[in-house]
Amino acid sequence: MRRGARYEARQAGLSRYFSDKPCPKGHIGERYVVGGCVICNLARSTASAKRNPEKVKENLRRYRETHREKCREDDRVRQRQRRAANPEKHRLEVKKWTAANPDKSRVIGRVKASARRALQRGNGGKFTTQDIERLRKIQKDCCAECKKRKRLTVDHIIPLSRGGTNDPRNLQLLCGSCNSQKSHKDPIAWAQENGRLL
């Protein structure tokens, strides 16, 4: 390989270049502009990972913490690729998970439906299943209105139709009957109807 190949690669902003001269271990192929033979580096890092699996896990955890958004986007891309590659398998996995987790499935369905409505209205805000679980703990699995332990539904305190946001601070959990009675009413009018405000 010409002597200036590494320099040319560096000038072009590349991290690797090809060399037809063998490295000290006899590999012919790509070299890092800084760091030598790609194959040798891969072998060293693989051996190191096998010797120190806990260190690898800790490094990965730290990287995911510091690059949270990038990792989430990468995960979404990989998930979309897996779905596109085998849609039937994905459909069966979703069906199986939904049958095994009916409560979580309902919550996720509500989160998605609410996000869709808020997006259509341009209200903004976003909540997750973790926010719902937090509300469930705060309310001790009881309806915020009648205080009874029933199957709970997500309610927007200020309804989306009245300009309320999809933010966790605008949410409460009501049982189905209380949520139906409240419907799209203003929270003050609803409280007055129930004798909580004069």
Q: What is the pLDDT of residues 101-150, one digit of tens each?
A: 887 787 788 788 888 888 888 888 888 888 888 998 999 989 988 888 88
- What is residue 197's predicted lDDT score, i.e. its pLDDT? 65
Region 52-76 average pLDDT: 91
In a domain, 62, yes or no: no
For residue 127, tell me if it sits in a domain.
yes
Are 93 and 111 in a shared domain? no
The answer to whether residue 60 sits within a structural domain is: no
For residues 2 and 11, the model is more confident at: 11
76 and 43 both lie in a single domain: no
In a domain, 84, yes or no: yes
The sign of the torsion formed by the CA atoms of 60, 62, 74, 169 equals positive
Q: Domain containing 112 — which CATH number?
A: 3.40.1800
Q: Which amino acid is at 140?
A: K
Residue 61 maps to a domain: no
Domain identity same for 185 and 128 = yes
Q: Indicate whether 95 and 159 sit together in one domain.
A: no
22 occurs within a structural domain: yes
For residues 62 and 69, what is the distance between their CA atoms, to the nearest angstrom?
13
Same domain, 46 and 91: no
20 and 76, same structural domain? no
Asked if residues 145 and 105 have their Cβ atoms less than 8 Å apart, the reply is no
Q: Is the pLDDT of residue 65 over 70?
A: yes
Q: Say whether both 133 and 173 belong to one domain.
A: yes
Query: Could you tell me the pTM of the whole model?
Result: 0.52
pLDDT at residue 186 is higher than 80: yes
Report the domain count for the chain: 3
Does the pLDDT at position 42 exceed 50?
Answer: yes
- Residue 59 domain-assigned? no
Alpha helices in the chain (DSSP H): 5-11, 38-51, 53-66, 68-85, 87-100, 102-121, 129-138, 176-182, 187-193
Residues 40 and 79 in one domain: no
% of the chain with per-residue pLDDT over 70: 97
Task: Give me 157's structure tokens.
Answer: 């305190």
**First-to-final CA distance of the chain:** 88
- Please check whether residue 28 lies inside any domain of the structure: yes
Structure tokens at 150: 């029933």
Distance in angstroms (rounded) separating the CA atoms of residues 108 and 103 = 9
Do both 142 and 157 map to the same domain? yes
Residue at a domain's end among 59, 79, 99: 99
Domain hosting 143: range is: 105-193
Over residues 151-160, mean pLDDT: 89
Same domain, residue pair 184 and 144: yes
Q: Is the domain of 26 the same as that of 46?
A: yes
The torsion defined by the Cα of 133, 137, 142 and 147, in degrees rounded to 10, comes to: -130
User: What's the token pair of residue 174?
Assistant: 């009501």
pLDDT value at 64 more than 70: yes
- Burial of residue 143, with CB atoms counted within 10 A of its CB: 0-12 exposed, 13-18 middle, 19 or more buried: buried
What's the confidence (pLDDT) of residue 74?
Answer: 92
pLDDT tens-digit series, residues 67-109: 999 999 999 999 999 999 999 999 999 899 889 988 778 778 8
Residue 1: is its pLDDT beyond 50?
Answer: no
